[in-house]
Chains A and B, each alone.
Chain A
Amino acid sequence: MPVIVCPACDLAHRLTTAPASGRRQCARCRAPLQRRENASIETAIALAVSALVLLLLSNAYPLVEMHVNGSSRDTTLIGAALGLYAQGFESLAALVLLTTVLAPLLQIVTLLYVLTPLRRGRRAPGRNAVLRVLTRVRPWNFMEVFMLGALVALVRLSNFAHIAPGISLWSCALLMLCLSALTSVTSPEQLWRWVEESGE
Chain B
Amino acid sequence: MSNPATGRSLGLLLCLDCRATVRDVKAAHSRCPRCHARLHERKPHSLIVTTVLVVCAAVLYIPANVLPVMNTRTIFDDEQDTIMSGVLVLLHSGSWPIALLVFIASIVVPLLKILALGVLLYSAWRPSPPHRLQRSELYRMVEFIGRWSMLDIYAVSLLATLVQVQSFASVIVGWGAWAFAAVVVLTLLAARSFDERLLWDTPQHD
Contact = CB atoms under 8 A, between A and B. Distances in A.
Interface stretch (A45-53, A78-86, A115-123): A78-86
A129 B31 CA distance: 13
Interface in B145-195: 147-148, 150-165, 168-169, 172-173, 177-178, 181, 185, 188, 192
Contact of A84 (B7, B95, B147, B160): B160
B193 to A, nearest CB: 13
Residue with the greatest number of chain B CB neighbours at <10 A, chosen from A10, A89, A161, A189 = A10
A148 B98 CA distance: 9
A82 B157 CA distance: 9
A146 B154 CA distance: 6
B138 to A, nearest CB: 11
A152 interface: yes
B136 A10 contact: no
A163 B200 CA distance: 53
B151 A7 contact: no
A30 B133 contact: yes
Interface on chain B toward A: helix, strand, loop, or mixed SS?
helix
A184 B150 CA distance: 22
B19 A9 contact: no
Interface in A124-166: 128-129, 131-132, 135, 139, 142, 144-146, 148-153, 155-157, 159-161
Interface string A157-199: 1011100000000000000000000000000110110000000
Contacts of A96: 153-154, 157
A100 B106 CA distance: 19
B18 to A, nearest CB: 5
A87 B7 contact: no
Contact of A87 (B10, B155, B160): B160
Contacts of A9: 6, 132, 136, 196-197, 199-200
A12 B162 contact: no
Contact of A155 (B5, B35, B95): B95
Contacts, number: 201
Contacts of A159: 93
Given A10-B201, A95-B181, A148-B151, A3 B10 contact: yes
Interface of B: 4-10, 12-14, 16-21, 34-37, 86, 89-90, 93, 95, 98, 101-102, 105, 132-133, 136-137, 139-140, 147-148, 150-165, 168-169, 172-173, 177-178, 181, 185, 188, 192, 196-197, 199-201
**What 8 A-B pairs are tightest by C-beta distance, nearest first?**
A149-B154, A83-B161, A5-B7, A9-B200, A153-B158, A152-B155, A80-B157, A153-B155
Given A3-B10, A9-B200, 9 more contacts: A5-B21, A9-B132, A9-B136, A9-B196, A11-B4, A84-B157, A131-B17, A150-B154, A155-B90
Interface of A: 2-12, 28-31, 63-64, 66, 68-69, 71, 73-75, 79-84, 87, 89, 91-93, 95-96, 99-100, 128-129, 131-132, 135, 139, 142, 144-146, 148-153, 155-157, 159-161, 188-189, 191-192
27 contacts: A8-B136, A9-B200, A11-B7, A12-B9, A28-B4, A29-B196, A30-B136, A68-B169, A73-B163, A73-B165, A80-B154, A89-B178, A92-B177, A96-B153, A99-B150, A144-B147, A145-B147, A145-B150, A148-B151, A149-B153, A152-B102, A153-B159, A155-B93, A156-B90, A160-B169, A192-B34, A192-B35
